[in-house]
């Protein structure tokens, strides 16, 4: 089980680096587009589409890592007052609930990606297939589900402590 946890954590780390690289690329695209528009009067075609696609990557690729390092926003000022066992139980219940919803969401995103692929949906300017980015998002959500499973295991461990 430890090997799987290490693999999932490493994958989340790599995905997070890809999200960071995507931020840099999006920033460069926007800056270059502004310069070309102001100086030469000729903007790059498709920059709005590519920044939108990169936004999908930035958000999706960062989600799992945020959960791995517990950098997400948590309102737990009430739960902090509970004993570790009670906190473990609450964390387990919320983790199971979140995993259930995220699994359902991931399944639906994969289904939507397949529909978009079958319909050959393309972006208007660059004719880039939408389904590629929808599949990317689905894979990222699947990784997020795996991180949730690991967090549930940790929560069960906390709940067993006395």
Residues 88-137: pLDDT tens digits? 888 899 999 999 999 999 999 999 999 999 999 999 989 999 999 999 99
∠ at Cα 59 (103, 114), nearest 5°?
50
| Chain-centre distance for alpha carbon 64 | 6
61: tokens are: 């690729």
Instruction: Work out the pLDDT band at 80, boundaries 50, 70, 90.
Output: confident
Closest to 136 measured CA to CA, from 6, 22, 1:
22
- Average pLDDT of span 131-145: 96
Instruction: Work out the pLDDT band at 161, boundaries 50, 70, 90.
Output: low
What is the pLDDT at residue 29?
Answer: 96
What is the pLDDT at residue 115?
Answer: 96
- Average pLDDT of span 146-162: 85
Closest to 61 measured CA to CA, from 9, 16, 108, 111:
16
* Residue 82, CA distances (Å) to 90, 113, 143, 153 in order: 10, 43, 30, 19
Give the whole-angstrom CA distance, residue 103 versus residue 94.
Answer: 14
pLDDT of 162 > 70? The answer is no
Share above pLDDT 70 across residues of the chain, in percent, rounded to a whole number: 98
Share above pLDDT 90 across residues of the chain, in percent, rounded to a whole number: 77
What is the pLDDT at residue 6?
Answer: 93
Q: Which of 1-5, 131-135, 145-149 has the lowest mean pLDDT?
A: 1-5
């Amino acid at each position: 089980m430890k090997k799987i946890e290490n693999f999932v954590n490493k994958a989340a780390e790599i995905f997070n680096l890809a999200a960071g690289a995507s931020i840099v690329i999006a920033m460069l695209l926007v800056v270059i587009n502004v310069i070309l528009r102001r100086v030469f009067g000729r903007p790059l075609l498709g920059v709005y589409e590519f920044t939108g696609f990169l936004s999908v990557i930035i958000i999706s690729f960062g989600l799992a890592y945020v959960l791995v390092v517990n950098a997400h926003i948590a309102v737990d000022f009430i739960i902090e007052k509970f004993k570790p066992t009670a906190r473990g139980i609450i964390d387990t219940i919320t983790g199971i609930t979140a995993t259930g919803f995220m699994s359902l969401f991931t399944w639906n995103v994969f289904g939507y990606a397949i529909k978009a692929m079958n319909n050959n949906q393309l972006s208007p300017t660059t004719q880039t297939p939408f389904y590629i980015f929808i599949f990317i998002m689905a894979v990222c959500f699947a990784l997020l589900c795996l991180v949730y499973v690991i967090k549930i295991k940790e929560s069960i461990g906390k709940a067993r402590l006395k």
